[in-house]
Structure 1
Amino acid sequence: MTRRRIALIGLGMVVTPHARSLIDLHDRVEVVRAFSPTAARREVFAARFPFPLCADLETILADESIEAVIVLTPANTHLEIVRRCAEAGKHVLLEKPIEITIERATLLVEACERAGVTLGIVLQHRFRPVGLRLAELLREGWLDEIVGCSVTIDLWRPQSYYDEPGRGSFARDGGGVLISQGIHTLDLMLSLAGPVAEVRGYATTTPVHRMETEDMVMASVRFESGALGTIDATTSAYPGFAERIRFVCRNGTAVLEGTGLDVAFHDGRKENVAPIATPGGTGADPMAFPHDWHRGVIEDFLDALDHDRAPRVTGREALKVHRLIDALIEAGRSDGPVKVAGEGR
């Protein structure tokens, strides 16, 4: 198995689970550089992790021995950074969201395709054991057809979270609760229930927060399969609760709640996976979760490079949840149904 030489780009809040995962995977990965343009962030990072630091992105781009990068910078910087990395021949694992608009996100995906480099997106909820188990049950037909699928994302973020310059703005983040927090659960939902055809709903900024973008969304959805459902997402639900997805199927009902799973079949059988103690990031500390799922994302990315295959969540795959989020925001601004755009629309 090849030991890949990689670099970290961005040493802000989200770096911790990635760095811990890379330490776990030291037999497969050598972190050659860890880059931030900010000296204070490099200093804080150096006190916690044993990776060589770098103050200049050009150093990474010019190093031909670096095969891949993990990009952890703010969303509005992704297009330029990823484009430069792709042109330098580096494979890219990119922290969600892809970019702040679907247009910029599509340009980023196309840049990697033109350069012939692998692009993976960090949407780690797909790597939770309960999500993998439910995917198996659905794939093998034990629950049969999904007829209803509803999502509840009741998170809490204090005002101090949004007081950071740019956070909760369209210019830096591309949106609020949907693209910054709910994207993980919505991506998992789509991976299990299939694409959404149409949405109706509301999006607002509640009096709980001072911010530009939405902190509460409530919508009804119709899936392309004909199944119906709802999406209820907020960062105003103190003190924060585990995200929940309920699947009503022909042969039973399955409920994913945080890291737990309950399945009840019509024939009386039941399956239960007890949640772990820390479901992860639902309250005031957005990083209060284990790094296991990030390690799963990185392992899958390394496997993709080793076996010349696509990662589980490609750029094209991640564009699907971006299109759903765009439709939900548009529905919140209109009085009628909004169709979810497909690829090429």
Structure 2
Amino acid sequence: MAEKLGIGIIGLGMASLPHARALLALRDRIEALHAFSPSRERRDAFAAAHGLPTTDTIEAIFNDRRVDAVLVLTPPNTHLEIVQMAAAAGKHVLLEKPIEVSVDRAEQLVDVADAAGIILGMVLQNRFRPAALKLKTIIEQDRLGQLVQVSARTNYWRPQSYYDEPGRGTLARDGGGVLLTQAIHNLDLMVSLVGMPETVTGFVSTSPVHIMEGEDVAAATMRFPNGALGSITATTCAFPGQADAIEITGVAGSATLAGTHLTVRSHDGSNIDFEGADAGSGSGADPMEFSSQAHQALIEDFADAVARCRKPVACGRDVLAVHNLIAAIIESHGLPIQLKHGLSPRS
């Protein structure tokens, strides 16, 4: 690999904005060599906005030896095919969430990357928000003690115009609605902090607020291996939108992570109020209304993983856990489902 990591961008839709900003901030160690979209209009708009080179063929990316890795920002149902192309070309992959539209296709994709020996990172940037990193350290230091209860809440707002885009919120293109598209960020962060529950019971529905195929309301209860209980709620009906929230209760204290703010209250009086420097949440009508700081940290971690031949913090195989959790919520219909592919929870 050259001194700079050579990147090719595939997909120039809405999700490309924070990535482009992050890559420009990291230009001293990462070089964006190509940016591809089949749409000339999107290529021209992207080049005008960010000054990065574009290409009208995906082959230009996979055939360029200077490209070490690809950043894939296309709809979920295209991910498996693109990762297969990347694996054949020996390119590492940083993949926008979700992995794919179903657990089966997600597992196939991860297996393809593993078999080819390429690094597969996932764009789940909430793990890199300063307040989330601080909470992770607090948990690792066992300052909350044994887990008692946890809740994850994603109360977003999306107007009908958001779902009027062809394919959005459908099973065929997106794999579903609020859980796999929006709440996956908060659920992935929850799992990375406290581990996987062993049992989940969930309900999903499509409300009168939206005309769409996938779910826009979801609720679930969880039981963790140590007996701790938890709850999950997710919606895109909550006007005007609220920041993601995770609440964790332990035998020694409790923590609330609400967007960029962390509050910790401990039995011994060692309280914490921490505000992260990143701004915005994307919880409202504009999904891109947030800072690119977390994206920058995630891309830096991916570049370091490639340079050091290690797993990125959010790697494909680990992220299969949250895919299984989401699938279980959708499939349970109020009946408990025993989960697999769990991460080790805190005792």
**TM-score, scaled to structure 1:** 0.97
Give the percent of matched residue pairs that are identical in Structure 1 and Structure 2: 49
1:58 aligns with 2:59: yes
Q: Deviations over 1:249-284 (max 9, x none)?
A: 010010000110000001222100136583310100
Judge conservation of contact 2:320–2:341 (CA < 8 Å) in 1.
no
1:95 aligns with 2:99: no
Judge conservation of contact 2:153–2:233 (CA < 8 Å) in 1.
yes
Judge conservation of contact 2:203–2:218 (CA < 8 Å) in 1.
yes
- 1:124 partner amino acid: Q
Task: Specify every segment of 5 or more residues in structure 1 that has no aligned partner in the other structure, as ranges.
Answer: none
CA distance in 2, matches of 1:175, 1:119: 23
Q: Which residue of 2 aligns with 1:151?
A: 152
CA distance in 2, matches of 1:324, 1:12: 28
Q: Which residue of 2 aligns with 1:340?
A: 339
Give the drift of 1:308: 1.5
Counterpart mapping for 1:193-342 below 5 A = 193-274=194-275, 278-331=279-332, 334-342=333-341
For the residue of structure 2 that corresponds to 1:8, the secondary structure is strand
Q: Which residue of 2 aligns with 1:172?
A: 173
Give the drift of 1:327: 0.3
Counterpart mapping for 1:38-117 below 5 A = 38-117=39-118
Distance 1:29 1:275, change over 3 A: closer
Counterpart mapping for 1:179-198 below 5 A = 179-198=180-199
CA distance in 2, matches of 1:101, 1:149: 26
Count of matched residue positions in the alignment of Structure 1 and Structure 2:
341
Judge conservation of contact 1:148–1:228 (CA < 8 Å) in 2.
yes
CA distance in 1, matches of 2:284, 2:278: 14
CA distance in 2, matches of 1:17, 1:44: 15
For the residue of structure 2 that corresponds to 1:2, the secondary structure is coil
Distance 1:167 1:31, change over 3 A: same
- 2:281 partner amino acid: G
CA distance in 2, matches of 1:185, 1:335: 22
1:139 aligns with 2:140: yes
Q: CA RMSD in A?
A: 1.2
CA distance in 2, matches of 1:302, 1:269: 36
Q: Which residue of 1 aligns with 2:20?
A: 19
Give the drift of 1:206: 0.5
Task: Specify every segment of 5 or more residues in structure 2 that has no aligned partner in the other structure, as ranges.
Answer: 343-347
- Aligned structure 1 segments of 4 or more residues deviating by more than 6 angstroms: none
- 1:19 partner amino acid: A
Give the drift of 1:107: 0.8
- 1:134 partner amino acid: L
- 2:110 partner amino acid: V
Judge conservation of contact 2:130–2:278 (CA < 8 Å) in 1.
no
- 2:331 partner amino acid: E
- 2:159 partner amino acid: P
Give the drift of 1:139: 0.5
CA distance in 1, matches of 2:235, 2:334: 21
Judge conservation of contact 1:76–1:171 (CA < 8 Å) in 2.
yes
Q: Deviations over 1:63-96 (max 9, x none)?
A: 1221111000000000001110111000000000
- 2:99 partner amino acid: I
Judge conservation of contact 2:278–2:294 (CA < 8 Å) in 1.
no
Give the drift of 1:216: 0.4
Q: Deviations over 1:28-61 (max 9, x none)?
A: 0111111111111101111101111101011111
Q: Which residue of 1 aligns with 2:345?
A: none
CA distance in 2, matches of 1:275, 1:114: 39
CA distance in 1, matches of 2:7, 2:270: 47
- 2:6 partner amino acid: R
Q: Deviations over 1:7-47 (max 9, x none)?
A: 11110000011011110001101111111111111011111
Judge conservation of contact 1:2–1:306 (CA < 8 Å) in 2.
no
CA distance in 2, matches of 1:107, 1:299: 26
- 1:180 partner amino acid: T
CA distance in 2, matches of 1:65, 1:305: 14
Judge conservation of contact 1:218–1:230 (CA < 8 Å) in 2.
yes
Q: Which residue of 1 aligns with 2:128?
A: 127
CA distance in 2, matches of 1:24, 1:277: 15
CA distance in 1, matches of 2:31, 2:20: 11
